[in-house]
Amino acid sequence: MSHCTLSALSVLLAATSVFAQASAVPQTKLLREVGVGPDLLCVATIPGTAKAYAGGTDGKIYLIDFDEAKSKPIAWDAHVSYVSGLAFTGKHLISAGSDRQLIWWDVSTKTKVRSLEAHDKKWIRGVALSPDGKILASVGDDMICRLWDAESGKPIRELKGHDKLTPYGLISKLYCCRFSADGKYLATGDQAGIALIWEAASGKQVAKIHAPHLYTSDTNGHTYGGIRSIAFSPDGLLIAVSGNLAGDTSTIVNSKAMAQLFDWKANKQTHDFPIKINGFFESICFHPKQPWLIAAVGAGEGKKVFILDLRKKAVLHEFLSNTLVFDIALNESADTLIAVGRKKALRWQLQTGGSTP
């Protein structure tokens, strides 16, 4: 469900120097908090505006204007149940749901352009749009990542490589996907802690990363954890994955939210961020101009957003979100952060002060 919305050009221009520079001190200010009836699972920003689309557990899509002092979201019926993924092409809004449907919407009329049953009658967990807006990726519980022409909806190819069963022989889930900023690669993450990196143009699998501490199971046949969010660094050299340190945070006390980074070409872990908070990182994204990974807590007790310093390999800043957060997105200039979660949508101003030593 998770993604950060940034123009490919802005990311690529900043990528060459981000990790070499000193970390600036982040300054955050809550600009707006909007109450919504259901939980909101996913978000897609509208470039050049303070508006965003959000998908709810009630099957509705909500259009939220954060510039309105008393914002009343505009909603329409979209899916039978959870709206688990959103992507905005500029022309169409594409939604994915637990009802197995991928739907293209005319946002001016809130009417369907097309609807596809996309993942063999399985829950569609998330979607991602390529930086040029031409390719849509979707992942679901059939453990396949499918690529679609974002304009016509025609299938391009299927990416098969994730195991359908976990190491304990239990049914797995394919949670997330994300393109690199240059659009050359696509990453997918599953419940067993496996991330696969694919060449977007050919569909060839080019790397496999294992984050074993993000997954576990019990003797009662329950699986816990997994890669809940995945992201490429702005230069495309690192992959970040997030979740929980091998636990279900609703039942395990003193668990740790976890984010890990890997040099995916070398298959080498570079960063480890176990945060002692009863929760897991449901959504992560890189800042395009600073050496930061932004991570939001989406379960348990920790209603916080963390900014992780990739240069110092430490927490740089944390602030309250006042709700569990299920998805986050930066705007195209990376100076505001939007979060959606437990019955709320929030927007913060995100600025940088002086550099840390």
Structure confidence by residue, pLDDT tens digits, 293-331: 999 999 877 899 999 999 999 999 999 999 999 999 999
State the pLDDT at residue 248. 47
State the pLDDT at residue 222. 72
State the pLDDT at residue 21. 60
Q: How far apart are CA 193 and CA 259, in angstroms?
A: 12
State the pLDDT at residue 11. 45
What's the rounded mean pLDDT across residues 200-227? 87
Per-residue pLDDT at 110 exceeds 80:
yes
Q: Give the H/E segment covering residue 12.
A: helix 8-15
CA triplet 338, 17, 288: central angle to 5 degrees? 10
Q: How confident is the model at residue 126 (pLDDT cuts 50, 70, 90)?
A: very high
Cα–Cα separations (whole angstroms), residue 253 to 7, 64, 241, 279, 316: 40, 35, 22, 9, 25
| 16-20, 24-28, 267-271, 333-337: the lowest-pLDDT one | 16-20
Nearest by Cα to 151 from 206, 186, 114: 114
State the pLDDT at residue 89. 97
Domain 8-355 has CATH 2.130.10.10: yes
Average pLDDT over all residues of the chain: 90
Token pair 């508006």: residue: 51
Question: 346 vs 223, which has greater pLDDT?
Answer: 346
State the pLDDT at residue 20. 58
State the pLDDT at residue 6. 52
Pair of tokens at residue 8 = 């490919």
